[in-house]
Structure 1
Amino acid sequence: MPQATHEGVLQFGTIEIEVAVLDNGQRVITQSGFMVGLGRLRPPKGRHYYRSGPNLPAFLTVQSLKPFIGEDLFAIADQIEFRTKQGVKAFGYAPNFLPKVCDVFVRAQHAGVLKATQHDIANRAQIIAKQLARSCTMRLIDEATSYQEIRETQTRRNTYRREE
């Protein structure tokens, strides 16, 4: 199981989302950071869900969101199992999962189909989406975890080796 070598927090104004870089080079948005960042502290109750892939977070399976969720989101919804730097088992998502989920909520809000309890998620999603539009999610994760320093050192080392 991959282990986090670098951990950090993405900042989107007052919204914080925990991220990590794993020992295999994979970047992840932690599941807990993802949920807290979007304002989902616990699963919604009393909702009507549709059948979805086994790894789609429950709050995305609400019937009103179904028209806004495409196959591309299902394709990247698989959870990534890893160990934190402290060795604790954790789950996360690929970096491109966050902007896709934000897009679902932004489009659903514009269509006027969200329930009152989903507006906070949509507002947070809009803040995150605006900032992600300006920058690559993987680059932001590298900066939040200080991994860009390692990556730059590796790039220089590889360039030096090629010149030999």
Structure 2
Amino acid sequence: MPQATYQGVLRFEDIEIEVAILEDGQRVITQSGFMVGLGRTRPPKGRPYYKSGTNLPAFLKVQNLEPFIVEDLVTAAHQIEFRTKSGAKAFGYTPEFLPEVCRAFARAQHAGVLKAAQHKIANRAKTIAEQLERSFTMRLIHEATNYQECREKQTQRNPCRYEE
């Protein structure tokens, strides 16, 4: 199981999402950070967040969102099991998952099919999407984890252990 070598937080106004770069160079958005960032602070009863394999979070499996869940979102939902810098077991998603979820909520909101409880998630997703439009997700992860500083030093004297 790969270990995180860099960890940090993406900030989108008042929204924070934990991210990491694993020892194999893989970038991940932590599952807990993703859920908290979208306003889902705890798992639904009887269903923990931390379940490995490819599956969508329960809040994306609801009937009114079904028409807006595209194949790219399902593919990006593959969970990545890893260990945090402190050694704790964690799960994450590829960086592509976050913008795909934001697009799904934007499509559902535009179609007018969101239920009252989903508007908070849609609003947070909109804030994130607007910030992502102005930035590149990988660059944001590098900045949040200070990985970019390491890469810049690497070009000067190669002190970092991992390369992209």
> Is TM more than 0.5 here?
yes
Q: How much identity, in percent, do the aligned residues show?
A: 75
**1:151 alignment partner in structure 2:** 151
Q: Distance in 1 between matches of 2:82 and 2:152?
A: 24
Where structure 1 has 5 or more consecutive residues not aligned to the other structure, the ranges are: 46-52, 159-164
Are residue 30 (structure 1) and residue 30 (structure 2) matched? Answer: yes
Q: Distance in 2 between matches of 1:84 and 1:44?
A: 24
Alignment TM-score, normalising by the size of structure 1: 0.87
**1:80 alignment partner in structure 2:** 80
Question: Cα distance 1:2–1:54, how it changes in 2: closer, same or farther (>3 A)?
Answer: closer
Task: In structure 1, give the amino acid aligned to 2:11.
Answer: Q
Cα offset for 1:54? 4.6
Where structure 2 has 5 or more consecutive residues not aligned to the other structure, the ranges are: 46-52, 159-164
How many residues are matched? 151
| Partner SS for 2:78 | coil
Alignment RMSD, CA only?
Answer: 1.6
Larger Rg: 1
Report which stretch shifted further, 68-77 or 124-133: 68-77
Question: 1:39-89 CA deviation, whole Å, 9 max, x = no partner?
Answer: 0123457xxxxxxx9511111000101111111111111100000000000
**2:135 alignment partner in structure 1:** 135
Q: Distance in 2 between matches of 1:130 and 1:60?
A: 20
Report which stretch shifted further, 149-158 or 11-20: 149-158
**2:21 alignment partner in structure 1:** 21
Cα offset for 1:156? 4.7
Task: In structure 2, give the amino acid aligned to 1:32.
Answer: S
**2:41 alignment partner in structure 1:** 41
Alignment TM-score, normalising by the size of structure 2: 0.87
